[in-house]
Structure 1
Amino acid sequence: MEPLFYLFSGFRWQDALDILLNSYVLFRLYVLFRGTNVIRALLTICVLWVAGQAAVSLGLIITNWAMQGIITVAALVIIIVFRNEISSVFQTKDLKSFLWGIPRHQFHTPLNIIADSVWALAQKKIGALIVLPLKQGLASVVQGGISLDGKLSQELLVSAFWPDNPIHDGAIVIQGDRIISAGVILPLSKRKDLPSFFGTRHRAASGLTELTDALVIVVSEERGKVTLFKENQVYDIRNRLALEKLLQDHAGDDSTKKGVRHQTIELITAGLISLFCITGIWLSFSRGMETLATHEIPVEFINPDQKMEIISSSASNIKLLISGAKPLINAIKPEQINIKLNLSQSVVGVNKLSVTKANILLPPGIRLKKIEPSELDITLDTLIKKELPIQPNWMGKLPMGVVMKEAKAIPKTVRVIGGSLALKDISTIFTKQISLDNLTESGTATVDLVLNPASLKLENKNKIQIHYLISKKPVL
């Protein structure tokens, strides 16, 4: 649990938003490209990236370098080879389908209408080529065709293959209950084991099923026979019921509750995998770019007793060693870090206070490594008032021939506020130094008092007047 706690220590709400947003983007890419060759190529790149990261952790420098090169080349190959599939996805007109819609493959497909139409075409010996794509897309393997997006009906399906119709030689693609395109050209099979009586339609059907998971129905124009192609399987259809049963077996699962449940499980799994992958990338970046920094932060004392004051502290600043992602470390300002020590339980005299993580406030995503010093000696004292006499602090010597007869301070005493410990041994308060060197006659000097220690305060002004009386020495 401790390593896991360390990995997610300093986790911010911004990190959660970052992970969720990118996880959704990855999930949407899966939804848009699922069933296509693009998604399989992207999965291959992901495997290569994981292998590269493993190589880094094992210290395999050349292997990691090779993986990076392969990934770069593979990304360019995907863009070039699968440009048609990528283009078809990003040309989506419906914003809902692009951002949050979930396409339902062959949901609610009226298989009875397809069976009736195919059997009607077979009885009239009208050639037909009908494609039902399942999970994999067709954009990268088919060519030509015109977009119809018409409601599936027996009349429309039969009329599309009528001999006088200019699109009757191509294939029709059915998605759900819609005919999405007609006159589509399919890739021809290169298999050598197909029967000799199979014509171009049969070879085109076999060619498509070799490249995708689509189901293709062929009606022979010469023989009036119905053939169904699925992957490497070829099914000769004897009657209409057999055709509908095969359609139900291969293309009907997704129109049932079982198919809906299967797709829901698939999408939930894809979402969880996306979340796991993005979280792994976040951990890789946040820990891989981790750096150290040192900051000296002043200590703030809170909840002091109003009757006491701080006389001294063993340190006024605390040195903190912190770590985190390099961008976060570089963005830290000193005012974003606070150290607060609670004095509510302190007593008069010396108090030893420990500085812990609980006393330190750090920005999100930053971790504390070291505290120096980790303990402070704080001296507290009770505030009292004491009346002290003022003593002028003379320095130097009077000029020759003069003598100071009297010197007095106005006022004679001052009231000093300070800690009882500090004032205990103080009986007199001195002024700042007053030079005697240039005093030749009586006068008044305005001086400041010296407060030692500096924590002492005067109740009134600290400007004091010193009246001094100077006279000449009598001549003997």
Structure 2
Amino acid sequence: MNEMLSLSTSIRWQDIADIALNSYLLFRLYALFRGTKVFRMLVGVALLWFFQEVTVSLGFIVSSLAIQGIIAVSAFIIIVVFSNEIRSVFRAKNLKAVFWGFPKESNQTPVEIIVESVFEMAQKYCGALIAFPGKKDLQEIVQGGIPWDGLVSKEMIKSIFWYGNPVHDGAIIIQGDRVTEVGVILPLSKRNLPSSYGTRHRAAKGLTEQTDALVVIVSEERGAVLAAKGTRLSVMYSKKDLECELLKHSGRRIKQQGHVKKENFGIGLGTAAVISVLFVTGVWFGITRGLNTLITLEVPVEYINLAPSMEISATSENKVQLHLSGSQLLIKSVRPEDIRVRVDTSEVVVGYNAFTITTENISLPPGILLTKVSPKVLELDIDTLITMAVPVQTDWVGKLDENLILTHAKISPQRIRLMGNTRILGNLPTLYTEKVSLDKLSQSGKITANLAIDPTNLRVAPGSKDQVTIEYQIRKRAEDEFLPD
């Protein structure tokens, strides 16, 4: 009971939103791809991923790597092989159809009406070409179609292919119970076909070789009825043959009693939504609440919002140790740079300040929990920044040649304005340059030297230079100026 209560209190609103978002995305994938070969492949990839996680947890190194490679290859195959099917799913007028709309159940094709119409036209030697699309889109393959959108009826089909109709030489496309286009030009097959096959036969084969459509042909010369699907071109000797072919293509089957039933390759949308939520919730708990692992990381402390007039002169610690816990999968991915420890110094005072490190000061990746901080308290010594002009002096090193004398040296500017805390800057009587070697000087001239400043404690005030110019004069030593040996 205590574990359940602890679990419920540890779940954030972000976790609930995370589960809801991913559940909806998974549900949308099912709603868009159900009944397609892509969906079955995605289910297979999901099962492979599950087994790959199992092999990793059991320590099967070779098996886990092999399954991981199979998953990568499968993803590539889905994209390449089923590109047309994926494109047809996402072919929408706007994003609303992808993220919110549901695929409407198309009205069933009136098989009996089509069968009767086809065989009546065959008896009268009236040529016809009827295409029934499958999952693949035909728009990029066919040409010259005229939008029709008429309800399928025996009279309409026969009138379209009647000799006097201007569009009787083209094909019609039937989707559901509607004739969507007439006068359609189908691509001709490039394969070698028997000489007895006419243009309609070659057009039917050309379309079925490139798509998963079913095409019904009525031969004008022989009055025969044929059905083309894939690489197969079959003669329909009876109405029953054609009826079975149309039912098979539309995913319907005939029960023993003679009733037609739609093949069900999926589950209801309501059930799919529940399964999506349960699945994502299970994955979320497996990742975030799996085998608990502990880790200790040392993270630098960032002091933010310090007033420009103040400076941190000393700190008790610049880094803190964080003891973290989480699932093994998440803990393995955590790096020190992913975690930030920040202390707000906007309300500090001059002198001693103490800060207690809490969860509000620490930014952690999702799913990672803080168990302990060491040290718990940070101490800061705050001082006021002041600006002061300090005299500059050249730091000479080495010695001149014994025949030379340095007679004069002038430094410019003679004072440099520095910024620093009162404790350091107030006890700095003179600022030296970096070391200037006398060994290299042989005649009068000018040199530029940098200032010897510790940037952690002092810095040059705005408007002042961080270099000085030293003008010096050197002359040869007179004989009476030589020191005795």
TM-score, length basis structure 2: 0.48
Structure number with the bigger relative contact order (C-alpha 8 A, sep ≥ 6) is 1
